[in-house]
A and B are shown apart, each in its own frame.
Chain A
Amino acid sequence: MSPMMIIAKREFRSYFDSPLAYVVICLSYFGLGLMFFTDTVGASFWKVDKASLTDLFVYVGPGLSALVVPVVTMALVAEERRSGTLEMLITLPVKDSDVIIGKYLGALGLVLTLLLALLVYPIAMFSWPWHLGNLDWGPVLGAILGLVLFSAASVAIGLLVSSLVRSQAVAFFVTFFVLVFLWILGALTDYVGQDVSQGLANLMGYVSFNSRLQGFIRGLVDTRDIVYFISVTLLALVFAFRALERRKWA
């Protein structure tokens, strides 16, 4: 196994050595179930009375942005830098890029585990053991693909923030605000388009994670959205790598 994958494995496993991973997974499922199956936010699945999980996936994006990704990424580099273990890690014979990508894959692995676990809903509700109707699988798979790309970009941003700051609390809040901001931009486009300027609204829709994800959730896989998420991911990773390298010259 390459050093990169060993670091990724250690990172992934370390989530399960602390209660954090379990708490985040349980909270996410609890919150998601609450919103989807009861009337807390909008009409519940039972009232809507359609064989569709679109509403479920609509809630996943904000949940990941506001809670899961900031929590999962906050400690990645910031905590290691604070406690000094970063020095131990980097002075092993590994490249800086191995450290960054290894940590990235470890964190992304946890988020992807969470996303794949979401497949329990369509399977349990529409194939086995229950059969609540004929589910159109296109939008479900589209949404999962979209959320995977969305998570890839969000985790990369979280990693970048964590490698820029010294404390994981600061990393949490900065990541939280950046991701929530990127999400809310999409919701604001309509108002901005009517009251301010259409150009600005277009720009906001262009960068918003929310707008980019809508197509996937409806089952529309647009290459432009795929390229957008992948570009953001790569850009954030490159900057995170630079941030880690910066220690040499500081």
Chain B
Amino acid sequence: MSDVMIRTSGLSKHFGSVKALDQVDFEVKKGEVVGFLGPNGAGKSTTMRILTCFISPTSGSALVHGFDVFDDPLEVRKKIGYLPQRAPLYPEMNVWEYLEFTSQVRGLDASTFRSRLGRVVEVCGLAQVLGKDIGNLSHGYRQRVGLGQALMHDPPILILDEPTSDLDPNEKAEVIKYIQEIGKDRTILLSTHNLAEVEQACARAIIVSKGRVVADGNLEDIRSRAGSVRYFVGFSSASNGTAAPTKQAARDALAALAGAKRVTESPTEEGLHRFEIAGAKEGDLRPEIFKLAVAKGWVLLELRRDAQSLDSVFRDLTRADERLDRGSGWRDTSEAAASDAQ
């Protein structure tokens, strides 16, 4: 069989009149750890639920490990370890009982269960809580138990739906560490809206917005898709002997620079005017800004150039969602960028 572990083609899902997914196509190959990104409601969970055969697509198809989710749901589920959002577990069971239950349903015999349990307990750090009721565990531990449950049968594919949401920063870091650990020899599809995590754990990302895939590629490619570079500039506004610009004057001067597409004011600190400038990807505005400050006699306190972060790419690509939520109507992102530049 080929090394494509997950393939969707033309996957669509409608809930009533709402299009949750609209012609989603992607592939995940063996051994890849893929970040599945998007704002809330973009269709991440819906896609994952289709891949785990919890719901059926309205149209289109999906193959997991070569099995069709519609025709062979049991085979698909055998190949998958799945952690749904918020790790729903039975609160009245203790951790051992729960892991035993899922393993038995998956058909593991007692000796396999014991040997796997040792490894899962080690990887997920569950030794301290094995005898505790799940209802009494912190959210971080519950997430670990959910992850443990997904690993018990040593599946080739893991589907994790927001494994780090609702966790505190320490717990997040740990879960990401586990994912890096277990991702060495598995295919993982990981949904999140935390981009720092994707940068740590994944080599590739798929960004969805409003039920469509808007970007798919390795992180470098996605970053380079962004059309602009940001500059952060700060001038002193204190007039102790030197010339100090008013906010408006500084803004106008910066906007007049060749290559500055858009100037926005950042929150001002005491004695400091700050601006964020979007510039073209080619070229560098920093010499111009420095020369401007020298020519005007302004004191330059801050100057930093920031190649597009994944964070801002994500915001650019999924901007339409937010605009729609704020009631300003849907505009194409290029259109929006053009009007912003004016």
- Which A residues are within 8 Å of any B CB, using their own CB? 1, 3, 6-7, 10, 14, 17-18, 83-85, 87-88, 90-95, 247-250
Contact = CB atoms under 8 A, between A and B. Distances in A.
7 contacts: A84-B84, A84-B88, A88-B88, A92-B106, A94-B105, A249-B55, A250-B55
Contact of A17 (B92, B146, B149): B92
Given A248-B55, A250-B15, A91 B105 contact: no
Contact of A247 (B55, B78, B84): B55
Contact of B84 (A3, A6, A88): A88
Interface residues of B, number: 29
The 4 closest A-B pairs by CB, nearest first: A84-B88, A17-B92, A93-B77, A248-B56
Nearest to A248: B56
Contact of A93 (B78, B89, B149): B78
A247 B90 CA distance: 21
Nearest to B49: A87
Contacts of B88: 83-85, 87-88
Among B75, B82, B88, B106: residue with most chain A CB under 10 A? B88
Given A1-B104, A10-B101, A250-B15, A90 B54 contact: yes
Contacts of B318: none
Interface in B95-130: 101-102, 104-107
Nearest to A7: B105
A3 B146 CA distance: 19
Contacts of B102: 92
B163 to A, nearest CB: 14
A197 B85 CA distance: 57
Contacts of B53: 91
Contacts of A85: 88-90
Given A92-B106, A249-B56, A17 B93 contact: yes
B54 A247 contact: yes
B86 interface: yes
A85 B146 CA distance: 11
Nearest to A4: B105
A6 B93 contact: no
B243 interface: no
Nearest to A250: B15
A210 to B, nearest CB: 35
Given A7-B105, A84-B85, 15 more contacts: A6-B104, A18-B92, A85-B90, A87-B88, A88-B146, A91-B52, A91-B82, A91-B84, A92-B77, A92-B102, A93-B75, A93-B107, A247-B54, A248-B54, A250-B15
A82 to B, nearest CB: 10
A25 to B, nearest CB: 17
Contact of A6 (B54, B78, B92, B101): B101
B105 A3 contact: yes
A249 B58 CA distance: 8
A85 B49 CA distance: 13
A90 B77 CA distance: 9
B80 interface: yes
B74 to A, nearest CB: 5
Contacts of B15: 250
A84 B86 contact: yes
Interface string B172-190: 0000000000000000000
A92 B102 CA distance: 7
Interface in B116-159: 146, 149
B105 A92 contact: yes
A85 B89 CA distance: 6
Contacts of B78: 93
Contacts of A94: 74, 77, 105
B14 to A, nearest CB: 10
B77 A6 contact: no
